[in-house]
């Protein structure tokens, strides 16, 4: 797409907000959804038009004016809330836009016992959240085939960046050094994730799935220890991953042990992460947060 995007983001959270701001930076416009009135006010303050997804008329108007739609909202027990809401909105709108991106999770691959995961691999989610992502992906791809929509799937590992990283957890004292021998993770800086999304907007391929991840799968305890050393602060206390201090959200990351290949995004989209490892990402966050 050579024209500036008119982006509709279903889910104005951390990733959705960053994508919306990037669309505006590139000369386009952005609308983001949020059920939280305070969140909508914060989005509006940054130049992002905000709508309540339950407001059918407002959502219909946003869909009618969009050239691209990005879904970042997580699925629930009934499937993808964006697909349900946008299907209702579309019934009084003119047409779906030219590009639809569904942000999924690398949790769909399940455990690979440290092996590599590629986009065409079988999906064997080992968590409830991962299973819901598998279903949401299938629903969006089915909708794409049935209605001739240009749907792409993006599978992301843990997203980090300014305000949401090990730097913040070390500074506020919430970081824990969790060890699980042999365990590795990928990550993706929020700016790299957004860059991958916009690369796809320029080269859409209906039905394609892309992993957007960094180049170096690394154990979480290595990142924590390295970040503490870089900041010149003591390492956090070490805890077992089964320890009650480890949140359920964090513990879910330890269920799967895998390395995520980003080769397809590089080959097809010409995408390269600006922060290929956690080290470059860490330096950028420190520079941004001071």
- Confidence label for 178 from pLDDT (cuts 50, 70 and 90): confident
Quick: pLDDT tens for 193-241: 999 999 999 999 999 999 999 999 999 999 999 999 999 999 998 887 7
pLDDT band at 54 (very low <50, low <70, confident <90, very high): very high
Q: Tell me the whole-structure pTM to 2 decimals.
A: 0.94
Residue in this structure with the two tokens 């420190």, named with its chain if needed: 286
Per-residue pLDDT at 262: 98
Average pLDDT in the chain: 92
Question: What is the structure's pLDDT at 288?
Answer: 86
CA nearest 212: which of 153, 172, 169? 153
Q: Which CA distances in Å does 104 have to 136, 175, 239, 276?
A: 8, 26, 30, 20
pLDDT at 231: 93
Query: Is the domain 6-158+189-213+260-274 a CATH 3.90.190.20 member?
Result: no
Q: How far apart are CA 186 and CA 164, in angstroms?
A: 16
The encoded tokens of residue 200 equal 């796809």
Mean pLDDT of 24-51: 97
């Amino acid at each position: 797409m050579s024209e500036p995007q008119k982006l509709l983001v279903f889910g104005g959270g951390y990733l959705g907000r960053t994508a919306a701001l990037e669309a505006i930076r590139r000369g386009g416009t952005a609308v983001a959804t949020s059920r939280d009135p305070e969140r909508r006010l914060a989005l509006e303050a940054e130049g992002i038009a905000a709508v309540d997804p339950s407001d059918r008329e407002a959502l219909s108007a946003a869909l009618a004016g969009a050239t691209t739609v990005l879904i970042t909202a997580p699925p629930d027990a009934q499937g993808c809330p964006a697909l349900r809401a946008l299907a209702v909105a579309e019934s009084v709108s003119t047409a779906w836009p030219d590009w639809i991106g569904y942000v999924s999770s690398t949790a769909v691959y399940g455990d690979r016992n440290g092996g590599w995961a590629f986009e065409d691999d079988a999906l064997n989610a080992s968590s409830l959240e991962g299973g819901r992502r598998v279903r949401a992906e299938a629903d969006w791809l089915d909708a794409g085939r049935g209605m001739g929509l240009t749907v792409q799937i993006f599978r992301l590992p843990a997203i980090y960046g300014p305000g949401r990283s090990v730097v913040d957890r070390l500074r506020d004292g919430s970081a824990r050094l969790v060890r699980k021998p042999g365990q590795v993770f990928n990550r993706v800086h929020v700016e790299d994730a957004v860059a991958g999304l916009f690369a796809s907007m320029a080269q859409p391929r209906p039905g394609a799935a892309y992993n957007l991840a960094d180049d170096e799968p690394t154990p979480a305890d290595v990142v924590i220890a390295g970040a503490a050393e870089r900041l010149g602060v003591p390492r956090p206390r070490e805890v077992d991953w089964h320890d009650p201090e480890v949140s359920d959200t964090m513990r879910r990351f330890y269920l799967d042990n895998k390395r995520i290949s980003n080769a397809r995004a590089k080959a097809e989209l010409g995408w390269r992460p600006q922060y290929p490892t956690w080290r470059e990402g860490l330096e950028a966050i420190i520079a941004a947060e001071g």
